[in-house]
Each structure stands twice: as structure tokens, then as C-alpha cells.
């Protein structure tokens, strides 16, 4: 049977786009302050989850909501299950948007909104691919299960809960990265450095705040400082103005006598590629590091300055590279300091590490460097080992062949620092929906997805699902 997948997508483009726009209007950021038993990650993620599952019910699929943590949309029957994993939660919108991040805008062939490329747009492409197969009543020998998550951008608590109650698919993919395929992912661990103690008597760090998530390069940072005199405040302002001229950042300096507020604006980016962003927090720390702060404040600032642009962990003493998986990367994502806080003074360091090293080796290494600043360390809730599916696995071979057939371009395996739901399965990969040469706006302001890519990906997913499950 020969099927014109592009034509099938063409007849559904308007419906797909309307469904996507409605999904993008949901602010599905995690909010623990509003978490309840009915909304384990806050009202936004569960609203996104229910909305996506409602599409499945509308279109006649078998649907299950697993206690508002996650859910799935099923089609077909068989002894084996092909799993497709998408997620409805998004990282915080942050600053710097030219449009409302939760009111999608279509402009110049792109759809702008938080979640358009990560991961609501690609998830909608995969869902419509399933819908095409169902609409055409194509016979399958395997069950196809689209698993919908709601906590991928944070702790993956959704999948922990889901797999306690549901069987894992036998193999599958996540539409949450790029084509032609991602069949390997680096390990992923966050380590928090905590700083206890008091300030000095002269320069007092009242507060330092930066960052929205561990896996985002912080685009803004702000510090409030008490300095010894108005004269020193004036000199600090002049020094900051010189600093701004020398560095790729913008900022403001405001003050009332001896209390000053310094803000820095850099550029947000995905924490898996920290070198593509401009970390506002470490730039601010570099400026402050020359001033005589004391105790915990000094340790906090000096540590933040030490890791400035240390994208590969060289200054931290944990640099490592594997021939296949590449270099370790480090993103400093969350910075919190409050005067006289007993526990809240911390910096999060998110590492994406290749095989050959480990979270324990990394933690031991940073204890020898910023540990000298009287920091104590704590691992985050998630430590994921490196993941790899061999290139000769039939799953990888089939998905690459589908990509080549649709694009005319040769596909090859690729390993990334980003973490996707593809690693949930032993035979799991990430597959699209971004094409080679795309502009990466994930976790950034003005996130978008090319409409042409959205529709091309839908056709590729439909063909791939059919070949894998027929």
C-alpha cells in the first residue's frame, strides 16, 4: 500500500494548527506553591495534560488519565507496544518576549509561543500522525501508545508515578529534539552548592536572585547591596558602567544612599547548551567579586565568579570527554542568596556528562575547587546515567530510513546533552521535530516553531509509526 503522507497532512493542516494554538494558550508552567493531590505539579501542567487527553477522547482513541500525573492515548492492539512520549509542561516564560508567550502568534511562517518547539508543537505533530493512521484505518500488528507527561522540565515525577502504575512500552521515541535522530543522551545530574554564615560589616549582600530552572541559562540577575558610604556607592556605579561597556550584557544601577540595586540582562538558553547563552548571574558575580564581602556572601559571590563561562567544567576540575558522547557541559542555572538565611543560599550546577565519568566523580571534583569557599554540596533529586541505543538497532535503522525517504538527506546517529523521555526505554530514542539547520529557541524568549517543519514532521511521524507498528 502506497500512502501519500504529505497529502494526508495537507488535508488536516488547519485542524492541527487550531488544536495546537488552543494547547499553547495554556500556561502549563510547574508551580509547586499551588500543588494539590489533584494537581501534583500545580494547575498549569494538569490543565495541559487534560487538554491533550481530551483531543484523544474527541477523536475516538482509548484514553487514560493516570491520576493527573500523566496519561496515554492508545490505538491498535498487539503483543508489543510502540511508545511515543511527549510532554505538556513548559519552562517559565521569563522576560524578553515581544509577544504574549501564552497567546500564540503566527508570523513569517512561524508560530511563536512558549512550548511551540518544546514540546507542544512536536507532540501535536506526533498526535496527528497517529490520527492519520486511525482515520485511514490502517492495520497494525502492534499497539501504539502516545504517553503524555506533565513534569519533563523539572523532576520527571510524572514518569516516576506513571511507571509505578502502567507497563512500559517495548520501544519508542520522543518527539522532543531533532532529526535525523538522537540515539544517545549524556548523563544528567544537578549538584547544589550551599553557603552558610554571615555577611561582613561593611559590604552586605542583602540578596542575589537569578534563574528560573536548573536547565535554563539565566537571562537576568539582580543583587541588592549595602555599601559603607554614598561615595563608595557612586564609585561602584561608575565601575559598573565601565563593566557594561566591556561585556556583552546590559544592566541598571539604582541606589538610595548606601543601598544599591544592580541588575544584569544576558541571554537565556537551554541548559544543555550553556555556551549558547549569556549567564547574567555569573557576569554580575564577576563584577561583585572585587568588593570586600565576607563569610557566606564572599563564598557565594566568589564561587559564582569562578564558574563564569566554565561551560565544560575546566575551572571546576571536572572536564571530561568521551570519543562518542563528546564533552561534559555545565550550566549554572539557579542562584539564590538572602541575608542571614540558614539554608537558602545556593547555586545549582547542572551537568550533562558522557560515559566514563559519574555524578560521584563530578561532586568530588567540585569539592576540591569551590568547596574551598566553605560550600557544602547536595545532589538534586534526579541523576540519570548516560543512555545509548546502538545505530544497528532496527528502531534506529527504521527511523533513519524514514527520514531519508522524506528528505533525501542521509541520516546518521547523534548524541546530545539534552535529556528527553526517549531515555525512559532501553530501546528509546528522540526523533525530531527540529530539522538540521533550525534556529534553537527552546527555553528562550520568543520561542517559535517553523510551520513548514511542523507539517513535515507530522508526515515523517505518520510514516515512521506505520512502518514500526504495521
At 400-441, the pLDDT tens digits run 999 999 999 999 999 999 889 999 999 999 999 999 999 999
pLDDT, residue 294, reads 81
pLDDT-based confidence at 343, cuts 50/70/90?
Answer: low
Does the pLDDT value for residue 202 go beyond 90? Answer: no
Identify whether the C-beta of residue 191 lies closer than 8 Å to the C-beta of residue 378: yes
More confidently predicted of 323 and 294: 323
Identify whether the C-beta of residue 87 lies closer than 8 Å to the C-beta of residue 150: yes
Give CA–CA dist 154/450, Å, rounded.
26
5-186+386-469 and 188-383: identical CATH topology? no
Q: Give residue for cell 538540521.
A: 436
pLDDT, residue 374, reads 81
User: 223, 226, 193: which is closest to 208 by C-alpha?
Assistant: 223
Mean pLDDT value across residues 169-193: 97
Degrees to nearest 5, angle at CA 401 with 327 and 79: 95
Q: What is the pTM of this model?
A: 0.86
List all residues 6 or more positions away from 7 whose beta carbon is below 8 Å from its beta carbon: none
pLDDT, residue 419, reads 87
- Give me the sign of the Cα torsion angle 195, 197, 198, 203: negative
Does the pLDDT value for residue 341 go beyond 80? Answer: no
Render the burial of 130-165: b for 16+ CB within 10 Å, e for the rest. bbbbbeeebebebbbbbbbbbbbbbbbbbbebbeee
Give CA–CA dist 470/468, Å, rounded.
6
Mean pLDDT value across residues 85-108: 96
pLDDT, residue 295, reads 79
Among the listed ranges 24-28, 83-87, 91-95, which one has the minimum average pLDDT value? 91-95
Give CA–CA dist 92/396, Å, rounded.
33
- Give me the sign of the Cα torsion angle 395, 401, 404, 407: negative
- Give me the sign of the Cα torsion angle 109, 115, 117, 121: negative
Give CA–CA dist 407/435, Å, rounded.
10
Active-site option among 89, 178, 363, 453: 89
Note if the bond before 386 is cis, omega within 30 degrees: no
Mean pLDDT value across residues 25-31: 98
At the second CATH level, the architecture of 188-383 is: 2-Layer Sandwich (3.30)
Among the listed ranges 167-176, 286-295, 313-322, which one has the minimum average pLDDT value? 286-295
Q: Residue 110's beta-bridge partner residues?
A: 107, 450
Percentage of residues in the chain with pLDDT exceeding 70?
98
Mean pLDDT value across residues 193-205: 82
Our measurement of the distance from residue 430's CA atom to the centroid of its chain's CA atoms, rounded to an integer in Å, reads: 14
Helix (H) or strand (E) holding 50: helix 43-58
pLDDT-based confidence at 399, cuts 50/70/90?
Answer: very high
User: 452, 349, 335, 339: which is closest to 13 by C-alpha?
Assistant: 452
Percentage of residues in the chain with pLDDT exceeding 90?
91
Mean pLDDT value across residues 234-261: 96
Return the domain boundaries, the chain. Answer: 5-186+386-469, 188-383
Q: Does domain 5-186+386-469 have CATH number 3.40.630.10?
A: yes
pLDDT-based confidence at 269, cuts 50/70/90?
Answer: very high
The reply to whether 32 belongs to the active site is no
Give CA–CA dist 470/457, Å, rounded.
19
Our measurement of the distance from residue 337's CA atom to the centroid of its chain's CA atoms, rounded to an integer in Å, reads: 24
The reply to whether 368 belongs to the active site is no
Q: How many CA atoms lie within 13 A of 212 on its CB side?
A: 23
Helix (H, G, I), strand (E, B) or coil at 110: strand
Does the pLDDT value for residue 59 go beyond 80? Answer: yes
Active-site option among 152, 153, 363, 413: 152
Amino acid at each position: 500500500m502506497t500512502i501519500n503522507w504529505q497529502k494526508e497532512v495537507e488535508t488536516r493542516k488547519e485542524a492541527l494548527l487550531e488544536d495546537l494554538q488552543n494547547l499553547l494558550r495554556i500556561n502549563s508552567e510547574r508551580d509547586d506553591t499551588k500543588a494539590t493531590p489533584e494537581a501534583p505539579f500545580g494547575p498549569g501542567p494538569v490543565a495541559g495534560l487534560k487538554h491533550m487527553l481530551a483531543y484523544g477522547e474527541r477523536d475516538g482513541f482509548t484514553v487514560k488519565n493516570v491520576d493527573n500525573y500523566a496519561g496515554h492515548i492508545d490505538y491498535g492492539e498487539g503483543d508489543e507496544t510502540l511508545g511515543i512520549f511527549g510532554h505538556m509542561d513548559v519552562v517559565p516564560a521569563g522576560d524578553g518576549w515581544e509577544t504574549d508567550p501564552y497567546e500564540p502568534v503566527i508570523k513569517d511562517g512561524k508560530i511563536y509561543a512558549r512550548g511551540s518547539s518544546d514540546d507542544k508543537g512536536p507532540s501535536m505533530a506526533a498526535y496527528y500522525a497517529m490520527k492519520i493512521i486511525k482515520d485511514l484505518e490502517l492495520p497494525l500488528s502492534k499497539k501504539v501508545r502516545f504517553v503524555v507527561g506533565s513534569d519533563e522540565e523539572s523532576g520527571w515525577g510524572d514518569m516516576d508515578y506513571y511507571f509505578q502504575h502502567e507497563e512500559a512500552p517495548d520501544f519508542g521515541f520522543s518527539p522532543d529534539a531533532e532529526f535525523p535522530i538522537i540515539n544517545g543522551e549524556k548523563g544528567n545530574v544537578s549538584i547544589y552548592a550551599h553557603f552558610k554564615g554571615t555577611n561582613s560589616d561593611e559590604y552586605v549582600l542583602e540578596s542575589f536572585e537569578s534563574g528560573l530552572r536548573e536547565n535554563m541559562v539565566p537571562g537576568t540577575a539582580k543583587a541588592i547591596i549595602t555599601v559603607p558610604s554614598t561615595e563608595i556607592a557612586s564609585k561602584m556605579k561608575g565601575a559598573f558602567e565601565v563593566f557594561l561597556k566591556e561585556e556583552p550584557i546590559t544592566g541598571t544601577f539604582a541606589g538610595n544612599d548606601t543601598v544599591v540595586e544592580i541588575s544584569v540582562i544576558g541571554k537565556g538558553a537551554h541548559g544543555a547548551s550553556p555556551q549558547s547563552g549569556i549567564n547574567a548571574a555569573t557576569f554580575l558575580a564577576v563584577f561583585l567579586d572585587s568588593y570586600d564581602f565576607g563569610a557566606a556572601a564572599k563564598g557565594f559571590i566568589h564561587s559564582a565568579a569562578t564558574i563564569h563561562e566554565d561551560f565544560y567544567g575546566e575551572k571546576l576540575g571536572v572536564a571530561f570527554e568521551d570519543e562518542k558522547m563528546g564533552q561534559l557541559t555545565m550550566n549554572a542555572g539557579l542562584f539564590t542568596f538572602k541575608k542571614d538565611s540558614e539554608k537558602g543560599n545556593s547555586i545549582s550546577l547542572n551537568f550533562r556528562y558522557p560515559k566514563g565519568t559519574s555524578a560521584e566523580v563530578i561532586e568530588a571534583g567540585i569539592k576540591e575547587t569551590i568547596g574551598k569557599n566553605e560550600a557544602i554540596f547536595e545532589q538534586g533529586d534526579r541523576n540519570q546515567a548516560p543512555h545509548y541505543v546502538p545505530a544497528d538497532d532496527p528502531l534506529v535503522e527504521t527511523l533513519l530510513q524514514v527520514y531519508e525517504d522524506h528528505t533525501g538527506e542521509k541520516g546518521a546517529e547523534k548524541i546530545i546533552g539534552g535529556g528527553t523521555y526517549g531515555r525512559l526505554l532501553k530501546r528509546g530514542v528522540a526523533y525530531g521535530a527540529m530539522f538540521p539547520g533550525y534556529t534553537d529557541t527552546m527555553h528562550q524568549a520568543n520561542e517559535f516553531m517553523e510551520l513548514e517543519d511542523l507539517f513535515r514532521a507530522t508526515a515523517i511521524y505518520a510514516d515512521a509509526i506505520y512502518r514500526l507498528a504495521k
